[in-house]
């Protein structure tokens, strides 16, 4: 049996009529940047997130992070605390502005260990970027309190976590800035790049709306130096269709995850979820001995898996490698993500479970 880690073609074919018709409407309109589809998406996602914060479409999740840091004037000499166990973009955005990423180790849910943050705060610290890794929210309430107590900004890299919740409230309502990505493989994916920043407060929201248009409010008049970063009409139209299905897909991912965990928890480390959190399972990630052996065994049996992430950021050549963060290093050599997408069927899930059991028998 072949079990793939993604099935974007099937998802497209299920929605083909709706998507094709919306794309052709955009083409016929002759209007491609910051038009009515993008406006509609911003309103629709604001409603979905049930937030008073402003929702601003941008070109990617990476830009959402960069724009958030630009809005709070991060510059050389500044420090931003973050996790090393994430996709590169989280820390890359900090470095691009000449500031220093200060890495704090992760806890057993793979997110930043909140207890280890305070010792890293000094007079140069300006912000914390936390990541809701694999779709599981960080401890955003505790993080927000640390930020409020120390006059820091909280940026939530929620690029993998759209739809996730804490105490029944959606991510997007806890941080000063929440960043989402619509990269095609994300739970809500466009057919190209796309992103969103959810921004608290009128001042910052106006600033980001200007920053994404080269710092201008009035055309050809520039208040500061920004970048070009918009969610285009074609991607917005696609997302307007797909957003209606997101909760259904998350539901399916959660059901798949439960089957895995119920069947595997005795033999391997399954994802840990706090009772007050809704994990949307962008990835279903286990931690195992002989990870590379298991990966190869599953691959030989037709099962695709992936390692997120094989090298923690504090050990990347482009950063100072002056710290040792044991939990992140351990995770990098033990984690494995299994197929979890909404189009998996029950036979495929049980096939994966059987092969894992067989390997550890
Ligand atoms: C996908 C992702 C990003 C970047 O998103 P892009 O839209 O690809 O730029 C940033 N952070 C995390 C944690 C991600 O998973």
Model pTM?
0.98
* pLDDT tens digit sequence for 159-208: 999 999 999 999 999 999 999 999 999 999 999 999 999 999 999 999 99
Calpha distance 148→144 (Å, rounded): 6
- Percent of the chain with pLDDT strictly greater than 70: 100
Supply the DSSP string of 46-96, one letter for each residue.
HHHHT-SSEEEEES-HHHHHHHHHHHTT--TT-EEEE-SSS-THHHHHHHH
Mean pLDDT, rounded, for 230-237: 98
Query: Using a 6 Å cutoff on CB, does residue 89 contact ligand 1?
Result: yes
Query: Using a 6 Å cutoff on CB, does residue 160 contact ligand 1?
Result: yes
Supply the DSSP string of 160-172, one letter for each residue.
T-TT-EETTEETT
Instruction: Read off the pLDDT band of 304 (50, 70, 90).
Output: very high
**Residue 8 in tokens:** 């974007």
Calpha distance 54→209 (Å, rounded): 10
Calpha distance 253→278 (Å, rounded): 12
In the DSSP assignment, the letter for residue 212 is T
Per-residue pLDDT at 38 exceeds 80: yes
Per-residue pLDDT at 322 exceeds 90: no
Instruction: Read off the pLDDT band of 320 (50, 70, 90).
Output: confident
Q: What is the mean pLDDT of the chain?
A: 97
**Residue 35 in tokens:** 């038009």
User: In the prediction, which pLDDT does 205 show?
Assistant: 97
Dihedral, 66, 67, 72, 75 alpha carbons, nearest 10? 40
Query: Using a 6 Å cutoff on CB, does residue 62 contact ligand 1?
Result: yes
**Residue 129 in tokens:** 């970027």
Which of 5-19, 128-142, 311-325 has the weakest average pLDDT? 311-325
Per-residue pLDDT at 76 exceeds 80: yes
User: In the prediction, which pLDDT does 321 show?
Assistant: 77
Nearest CA to ligand 1 atom 5: 61
- Which of 57, 62, 112 should be mutated for ligand 1, with most atoms under 8 A from CB? 62
User: In the prediction, which pLDDT does 41 show?
Assistant: 98
- Which of 157, 193, 195 should be mutated for ligand 1, with most atoms under 8 A from CB? 157
Mean pLDDT, rounded, for 313-341: 95
């Amino acid at each position: 049996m072949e079990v793939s880690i993604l099935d974007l073609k099937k998802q497209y074919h299920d929605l083909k009529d709706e998507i094709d018709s919306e794309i052709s409407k955009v083409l016929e309109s002759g209007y491609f940047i910051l038009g009515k589809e993008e406006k509609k998406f911003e309103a629709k996602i604001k409603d979905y997130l049930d937030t008073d914060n402003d929702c601003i479409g941008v070109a990617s999740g990476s830009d959402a992070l960069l724009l958030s840091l630009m809005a709070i004037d991060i510059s050389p000499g500044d420090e931003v605390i973050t996790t090393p166990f994430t996709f590169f973009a989280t820390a890359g955005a900090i470095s691009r502005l000449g500031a220093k990423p200060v890495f704090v180790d992760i806890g057993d849910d793979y997110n930043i260990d909140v207890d280890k943050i305070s010792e890293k705060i000094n007079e140069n610290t300006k912000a914390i970027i936390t990541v809701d890794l694999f779709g599981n929210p960080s401890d955003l309430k505790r993080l927000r309190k640390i930020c409020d107590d120390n006059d820091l900004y909280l940026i939530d890299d929620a690029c993998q976590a759209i739809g996730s919740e804490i105490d029944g409230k959606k991510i997007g309502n806890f941080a000063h800035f929440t960043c989402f990505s619509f990269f095609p493989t994300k739970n809500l994916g466009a057919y190209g790049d796309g992103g969103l920043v959810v921004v608290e407060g009128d001042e910052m929201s106006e600033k980001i709306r200007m920053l994404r248009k080269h710092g201008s409010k009035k055309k050809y008049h520039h208040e500061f130096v920004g970048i070009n970063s918009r969610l285009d009409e074609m991607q917005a139209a696609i997302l307007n269709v797909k957003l209606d299905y997101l909760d259904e897909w998350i539901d399916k991912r959660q059901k798949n995850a439960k089957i895995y965990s119920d069947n595997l928890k005795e033999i391997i480390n399954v994802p840990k979820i706090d009772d007050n959190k809704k994990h949307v399972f962008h990835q279903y990630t286990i931690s195992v001995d002989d990870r590379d052996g298991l990966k190869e065994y599953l691959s030989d049996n037709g099962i695709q898996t992936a390692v997120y992430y094989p090298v923690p950021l504090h050990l990347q050549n482009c950063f100072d490698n002056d710290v040792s963060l044991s939990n992140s290093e351990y995770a990098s050599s033990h984690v494995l993500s299994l197929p979890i997408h909404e189009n998996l069927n029950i036979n495929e899930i049980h096939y994966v479970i059987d092969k894992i059991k067989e390997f550890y028998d």
